[in-house]
Amino acid sequence: MLRLALTPRWLGWFLLVVLASLACLWLGQWQWGRYEDKSARAERIESHYEADPVPVTEVLTDDPVAIDDEWTRVRATGTYDTGQQVLVRNRPLDGTYGYEVLLPLRLEGGGTLLVDRGWVPNSPKGADVAPEVPAAPTGEVTVTGWIRLGEKSLERDMPRGQVASINLDEVSEEVGTDLLGGYVSLQSEDPRSERPDPLAVPDTDTGPHMAYAIQWWLVIPAGWVFVVLALRREAQEGVGRAPRPKKVRIWDEEDG
């Protein structure tokens, strides 16, 4: 087996298995990383989502909020700046695309909190026409909701009053004021008023990534076992094969 394994053909097979093993190792680590990210997110949601709300200023400052504080349930009191509404375009809800409605809430203790009040469908006249949005309550209002992280910029030029993602810097430019380092997904308002449709409950499913990672890693030993067994079988066939009889040429018989 050793002599056969050192032939160029089998060395090529071994090199191929090494490269395939490295690829499977990387793919397994990638899937495991996705599982860990989703698992950590699910744990944050499950620990925060139904918890008693805390004052928003205990969680948010001018600095970007820490990921461990995402989905913390908070309460804030202030006044909506109803003249600075911003719409987030191309946001899905139950398979339909529309807008999420953002409003700055000027807190009674100072600072401005961005509130995502919910979702509205596109206008029947088309996505380029601003949709109808239920009016926000005037005067002092207390909101309860969940802390969310600001999103990455999609770097798209949008019409005035619209953004492509909830990027806090871009929204801050739209509303003309600095915002706290996270925003709130609205659960309820007091006093109650008509509002956009509530956003979907966050998904805590971790998906099949753990199973995919294990499958990729199991391919590695399976590949090596297959190659070694194939090498062993070829070596055994070579040992058991009877030598071919030497051909005797006609003129060799005549010479004899």
- List, in order, residues 6 or more apart from 127 with CB less than 8 Å away: 89, 90, 97
By CB atoms closer than 10 A (0-12, 13-18, 19+), residue 81 is middle
**In Å, how far from its chain's centre is CA 35?**
10
State pLDDT tens for residues 32-71: 999 999 898 888 888 888 899 999 999 999 999 999 999 9
pLDDT of residue 6: 80
Q: Are 141 and 191 in contact (CB under 8 A)?
A: yes
pLDDT of residue 256: 52
State pLDDT tens for residues 1-17: 778 778 888 888 889 99
Cis-peptide into 134, omega within 30 deg: no
Domain ranges of the chain: 1-42+207-235, 72-190
Q: Distance between CA atoms of 252 and 218, rounded to whole angstroms?
A: 60
pLDDT of residue 128: 72
Q: Digits of tens for pLDDT over the chain (256 positions)?
A: 778 778 888 888 889 999 999 999 999 999 999 999 989 888 888 888 889 999 999 999 999 999 999 999 999 999 999 999 999 999 999 889 999 999 999 998 889 999 999 999 988 877 677 889 999 999 999 999 999 999 999 989 888 899 999 999 999 999 999 999 999 999 999 998 899 999 988 888 888 999 999 999 999 999 999 989 988 888 888 754 555 566 656 555 555 5
pLDDT of residue 239: 58
What are the phi and psi torsion angles at 101 (to 5°)?
-105, 120
3-state secondary structure of 157: coil
**Which residue bears the tokens 């297959």?**
226
pLDDT of residue 21: 94
Q: Are 153 and 163 in contact (CB under 8 A)?
A: no
State pLDDT tens for residues 149-161: 999 999 898 888 9
